Amino acid sequence: MTVDLSEICTRLGINPIAPPQLTIGGVNTLELARETDLSFAERSDQAIAVGASHASAVLVPPDFPELPGPILLRVSSPRTGFFAIAELFVSTPEGCGIHPSALIDPQAELGKDVAVGACAVVASGARVGARSILGAGVYLGPEATLGTDCLIEANVTIHRDSMLGDRTIVHSGSVIGSDGFGYVWDGGAHRKVPQLGRVRIESDVEIGCNCCVDRATLGETRIRRGTKIDNLVQIAHNTDIGEHVILVAQSGIAGSSRVGTGAVIAGQVAISDHVSVGNGARIGGQSGVTKDIPAGAEVFGTPARPLADTLRELAALARLPALLKRIRQQERQIEDLTRRLAALEQRAGRRDSPQSAPVIRSGDWVTVTAAPRYLRKRR
């Protein structure tokens, strides 16, 4: 696939750059770009890298210096413009109609230009919006709903009553709408709590590989518009994930917790049940969240605490071995000083004893070498 440079300029909202007949065949980094590629640079100190690049054209900020070599396309945000153009080169699965091995229930509803891959199953009452693509081995359960322009990759399972909005992307191996982890102890055994709710995923959500989003016990487990979820993430029953949240790999959110709009949850974070994470909060990797996090807060550690406090504690912890060594040295010095002081006190006690002091008896003179001369007995 190639795109005319003039079309790229139009999409970026800048005046066409000569030569208009130049075509771009791909996008890449400055170092890896080929002669037909487009690349980008965000800072003036990348001038040497731009000059050495084989790219045909490079997106740069307005104040970037003039250079020989690649064509410089000046835009306000090179990174944003670059990825907008990169979308033109994304290879998406093309609709192939309904594969002969796919199993489509007569009561299912498929929109216009829907593609269903090999061995996929669309159950009774399921609805698939126009131009959506179901990969090989996908299971869409009874009464499940899929919006328009969705991409469901191979071997995804979407259980009964689940609702996915427009332009939702779910990557391979993920499971949407399985039973939540709910049991009650009756004195002799764990009894399963019926999971009667569902999962609702709003538009423009992307879910990575091998994620699990459990249905609600009652009501809904909800993932709101624009949220992006990495691989291997667990979202438990009745959780409510706000808009435009970032959930990084291997995170887990326990039941009935709330995550506010724009929050960022880094890798391997564990959030306890019935916890609320405020809008815009940021949780550092491997943190354990056991209580509510205020809006806009930055927390880290287990249990999660304000980032600045945790970093100071970690810095102090790194100095602990040296501090313990100093303490041991000072303890030895104190012990040595204590022994020396005891010896001095013992010597001082012997000098001050009655046997060594001058003696004067009433009624008699005693010659004592330590006595003054006028007290000494004359012979």
Would you please indicate which residues are annotated as catalytic (active-site) residues?
237
Q: Give every CB contact of residue 344 below 8 A, 6+ residues apart in sequence.
A: none
Question: What is the 8-class DSSP label of residue 24?
Answer: E
CA pair distance 38, 213, nearest whole angstrom: 38
Tally Cβ neighbours within 10 Å of residue 66. 6
Helix (H) or strand (E) segment spanning residue 27: strand 26-27
Helix (H) or strand (E) segment spanning residue 122: strand 121-122
Is there a contact between 125 and 142 (Cβ–Cβ < 8 Å)?
Answer: yes
Cα–Cα nearest to 133, from 123, 124, 143, 122: 122
End-to-end CA distance of the chain: 133
CA distances 378 to 363, 364, 365, 367, Å, are 15, 12, 9, 9
Evaluate the omega torsion of the peptide bond into residue 354 and state whether it is cis, within 30 degrees of 0: no
CA pair distance 269, 267, nearest whole angstrom: 6
Buried b (16+ CB within 10 A) or exposed e, 80-119: ebbeebeebeeeeeeeeebbeebebeeebebeeebbbbeb
Distance of CA 229 to the CA centre of its chain: 10
Residue with tokens 């990495």: 230
Is there a contact between 262 and 245 (Cβ–Cβ < 8 Å)?
Answer: yes
As given in the structure block, the two tokens for residue 118 are 């090999």
